[in-house]
Amino acid sequence: MPTPDFIIGLRELVGHHPLWLSGVTAVVVRGDEVLMIRRADNGRWAPVAGIIEPGEHPADTAEREVLEEAGVVVEVERIAGVDVSAHVGYDNGDEAQYLVIVVRCRWVSGDPYPADGEATEARWVPAEELGGLEPALSEASLRRIGWALSEEPAAAFRRA
């Protein structure tokens, strides 16, 4: 996945030291289906996610990332939850951890396809079949999708 320019600049200053970054997970719903991508970096199924650029609003990030990664136009409906990722160590030695804003999005238009190389597949999956995807969804993806599919109007929070 391409590294945003602002992170490249930060890395020039801090090297491989852990960065605390903000991101979004966009759970896109169309009827009883959820948009899923198969990530090119690890081969796992997941909702679209991305890093919030400096000065960018999280809803704009979600809508941009879904269009860039899956070719689908969406509209953010609500914040579904706030999460913290596990520590991430990258092959080049960089380290990071993410504050993740999970948003529920409504499909507007477009048929999903792997648009920018960050995914090898993109498709609609009936919500009741998410648990049967191979490879299996991560615990974090299942939790975040569950928050977005919930009818609970308040955002969910996971505590350590």
pLDDT tops 70 at residue 11: yes
45-49, 122-126, 152-156: least confident range: 152-156
**Which band of pLDDT confidence, cut at 50, 70 and 90, is reported for residue 3?**
confident
Residue 157 carries which side chain, given as an amino acid letter? Answer: F
Q: Which CATH number describes the domain made up of 5-152?
A: 3.90.79.10
C-alpha 119 chain-centroid distance: 12
How far apart CA 79 and CA 91 sit, in angstroms, is 32
Whether residue 34 contacts residue 104, with contact meaning beta carbons closer than 8 Å, is answered with no
Whether residue 124 contacts residue 47, with contact meaning beta carbons closer than 8 Å, is answered with no
pLDDT tops 70 at residue 91: yes
Residue 158 pLDDT: 80
* 73-84/156-157 β-pairing: parallel
pLDDT tops 70 at residue 92: yes
Q: Copy the structure tokens of residue 140.
A: 């974090």
pTM: 0.93
